[in-house]
Amino acid sequence: MSGVGKIESTVVSVPISELAPLTISPRMSGENADHVRALAESAVALPPIVVHRPTMQVIDGLHRLRAAQLRGEPTIAVVFFDGTAAEAFVLAVKSNTAHGLPLSLADRRAAAQHILRSHPHWSDRAIAVVAGLSPKTVSAIRRRTAVEIPQSSGRMARNGVFHRGIGTAGRRAAVELFTTDPDASARKVALAAGISVTTAKDVRRRLRQGQDPVPSRVADRSKPTRQPSDPTQVLQRLRRDPALRFADSGRTLLRWLEPPVGDGADWGVIVAAIPRHCAPSLAELARRRADDWQHMARLLDQRA
């Protein structure tokens, strides 16, 4: 199954000093010194290494890099991979199970668990192909780590087709992805969020039009338990919500919600500074504003 990242076909020469190992490597035991020496002494031309362009970390070919360093070479042949860190890890696992020094069974099991965390919507069979395990083994790992792994509303098959269930998690994940990267393609967001491309396009359209990205017909049947929240944190979260940020009415509402004197204000001190002759009028205005907000709260409760 293919990811959404892309390996460039152009081979370039890169200074070895600019490269680094993957932050999270699928090879838990680290580098194999004997393998590095064997590569350094080999007269056979080695293929270019694969490097994650955003971080300059080596996805595939760390032993070849070390061999080049051992030979005192200042540069090495590289092909770049453009994609996320999660996609880079998947490619590293796939590459190291297909050729080179094989990953151990423990490495492959740990890699499958890592991929389950980053791609919970992938099917057991799809992850098994990448990690070099059986679907049964991946299924067992998924069951053992079910508490740690985010639950997806469906599964991504080997051919890249997503078989989805009912739920809003995928749409909400897409909202976060589009908010972080507004120029991201619908296909990239769909694969990362575990939804169909059509759904990703619908989420993007709704965000641009200021609509709720999770329409009522696909909302979860069970409403979440209402938890007490810090008003400041709630307002900060609402400010980041693209459904409000990208709509005129939403931006107006956010301005209304800004506390005029800040949360936690000492109202006693403020009131004490008000002239007595202004108090009755201000009290009446405050009551009317409070009534307006109570009315709005009731309408919002009905909508929710």
Q: What is the pTM of this model?
A: 0.49
Tell me what pLDDT residue 246 has: 64
Q: If pLDDT is split at 50, 70 and 90, which confidence band does 245 have?
A: low
Q: With CA atoms as reference, report the closest residue to 33 among 134, 101, 87, 121.
A: 101
Please tell me which of 58-72, 82-96, 137-151, 184-198 the model is most confident about, judged by mean pLDDT: 58-72
The pLDDT-based confidence of 264 (bands split at 50, 70, 90) is low
Model confidence band, residue 217 (pLDDT cutoffs 50, 70, 90): low
User: For residue 260, what pLDDT band results from cuts at 50, 70 and 90?
Assistant: low
- Supply the Cα-derived Rg of the chain in whole angstroms: 27
Average pLDDT over residues 76-80: 96
Spatial distance between the Cα atoms of 207 and 217, rounded to a whole number of angstroms: 17
pLDDT confidence of residue 132: 92
pLDDT at 209: 83
Winning range, highest mean pLDDT, from 31-40, 139-148, 248-257, 259-268: 31-40
Q: Measured on CA atoms in the order 131, 136, 140, 145, is the torsion positive or negative?
A: positive
pLDDT beyond 50 at 2 = no
pLDDT value of residue 85: 84
Across the chain, mean pLDDT equals 79
Average pLDDT over residues 37-49: 91
- Of 150-154, 202-206, 270-274, which has the strongest mean pLDDT? 202-206
| Least confident stretch, 36-45, 56-65, 157-166 | 157-166
Across the chain, where does the E strand assignment appear?
A: 6-7, 12-15, 20-21, 49-52, 57-60, 75-82, 154-156, 162-164
- Give yes or no for residue 219 having a pLDDT over 70: no
- Give CA 275 to chain center in angstroms: 54
pLDDT digits (tens, 9 = 90+) for 86-136: 889 999 999 988 777 888 898 999 999 989 888 888 888 889 999 999 999
Average pLDDT of the segment spanning 160-176: 62
Asked whether residue 3 carries a pLDDT value surpassing 80, the answer given is no
Q: Is the pLDDT of residue 31 over 80?
A: yes
**CB of 38 closer than 8 Å to CB of 46:** no
Q: At CA 192, angle to CA 234 and CA 162, rounded to 5?
A: 120
